[in-house]
Structure formats: C-alpha cells, structure tokens
Amino acid sequence: MKKHLLLVSSSRCRGGAYLQHCEEAIKKFIGNISKEEKLAFVPYALKDHNSYASTAISAFSKMGYKMESVHTYKNPRDLINDTAVKLVFIGGGNTFRLLNELHKSGIFEDIKNNVENKGLKYMGSSAGTNMACPTIKTTNDMPIVLPPSFNALGFVDFQINPHFVPGNLVPGHMGETRETRIKEYHEENNTIVVGLTESNWITVDGNEAVLHGENESFIFEKNKEIRMWKPETIL
C-alpha cells in the first residue's frame, strides 16, 4: 500500500505561529474528513505532554480538524488503532526520548503497521520527521535517554537532518558544522542524508518524495559532492 507522508523540518519558522508556515500544505495533505473522523497527536518528544498537546490541538482545530493526543488514553494503542483516525502527527522535541516513549507506550509497531498497510497518513515535525527515517542517527539532539535501538519507523529510505543550516551556525563558532557531522555519519554509514532547511518540508506519495517550501535543501551522498534539492522537484 502507498505511504502518505508529510515531513516538516520545523514546527515554527521566522517567529511565526505553530505550523503557520506550512498550514496550507497540511490542509492539502489531510484533505476533507468527516465529523466522525479525527487526527492523533503524539507528544512524547517533550516532557510536558499536556501543554504540548494543547498547542497542537489548538493549531489543528483552527484548520478545522479534530485531534486527540495519545497521552490522554489509558492505552495509547486504542487511539492509534481507532479506524476513525486518518492521520498521526508526531511533534518535535528530543528524538531519543521520543523513540524510547514510542516503544514504552507500545505504539511504535502500531504506527508502522497502520501507515505501511492500512493507509494511515503520517506527519512529522523535527524529531517526528527523524522518526520517519531508517534510523535516528542524523538527529541534532542529545541522547538524554537510551532507546532500545536507534532504528526508527523506516517510512523513507533516506536519512533527514532537520533544521539544517549550511556553513557555520554563527560567526566565530568553533564546533562542527552540519556538513561536518553528516560527513562523519558517512564515515560509518552509506545512506543518503537530506539536509532539510527550516522553511522546507517533504511530501511522500508512495515512492515519490517531493521537496516544498521557500529554499533549497541539500543532498549528501557518501564520497560525492553535495547537491542542492530545489523546491517542487522529486528526489
């Protein structure tokens, strides 16, 4: 079955409201759903689930969608497996904590199965976008907890580095650039990495991945020159 994915680099852009910069893309991606249908939110990447869920639910409510958060369920699997749920959205935060909580809650395999085999749409932002990749090895986050493995949901066959910034982060910064870190990744791994810039997002329809947004993103392949990925073109 075709996978339908919306993978956003960042939930906020240039000081705008939550998901404001990609709101039209979200509405186009979800489409029209009935009053009985709803969306599921996964707030596990942040510690304060209540506040995070409130932010997401409010944003999607303004777009005309009903959303519920898995953390409000005694058994989160009940929401993920509810046939009325048409999309699951995993928000950003710490990728290691997120992956760990997906396993602890028991919904990791449910999300994977429902997206791959039952037509459930998947949306991720930042850490949630990392979660769609084969592994979480190209996250920007600190490993504040140790998940069972680094393997993620594997909805795409390339890695993503969200919030990608080319060159030095700030003048005089002496730490590794994102290019350096991705080069280190390729010293030990072979998978293509997309440096997804802040204002961009990727849609996936089956095996076709298209970049959207305002700026170019960047494609890193082992032992090859960096390539630019222009908006509205297929990877």
Q: How many CB atoms lie within 10 A of CB 115?
A: 21
d(CA 19, CA 199): 11
Amino acid at site 85: V
Question: Which string of DSSP letters, residue by residue, matches 59-92?
Answer: HHHHTT--EEEGGGSSSTHHHHT-TTEEEEEE--
Specify whether 163 is catalytic.
yes
Distance CA 77, CA 72 (A): 11
How far apart CA 89 and CA 94 sit, in angstroms, is: 15
Catalytic residues: 126, 141, 163
